[in-house]
Amino acid sequence: DMKVTQMPRYLIKRMGENVLLECGQDMSHETMYWYRQDPGLGLQLIYISYDVDSNSEGDIPKGYRVSRKKREHFSLILDSAKTNQTSVYFCVGGPYAEQFFGPGTRLTVL
Partner 1 sequence: GDSVTQTEGLVTLTKGLPVMLNCTYQTTYSPFLFWYVQHLNEAPKLLLKSSTDNKRTEHQGFYATLHKSSSSFHLQKSSVQLSDSALYFCALTPNNNNAPRFGAGTKLSVKP
Q: Smallest distance from the beta carbon of 80 to partner 1, in angstroms?
A: 26
Residue type, 42: G
The secondary structure of 56-94 as a DSSP string is EE-S--TT-EEEEEETTEEEEEESS--GGG-EEEEEEE-
Q: Smallest distance from the beta carbon of 58 to partner 1, in angstroms?
A: 6
Nearer to partner 1, 3 or 15 (CB): 3
Q: Smallest distance from the beta carbon of 40 to partner 1, in angstroms?
A: 6
CB 13 within 8 A of CB 20: no
Nearer to partner 1, 8 or 15 (CB): 8
Instruction: Name the site residues for partner 1 (rule: CB under 8 A).
Output: 31, 33, 35, 40-43, 45, 48, 50, 58, 90, 92, 96-99, 101-104
Task: State how far the Cα of 109 lies from the Cα of 45, in Å rounded to an integer.
Answer: 20
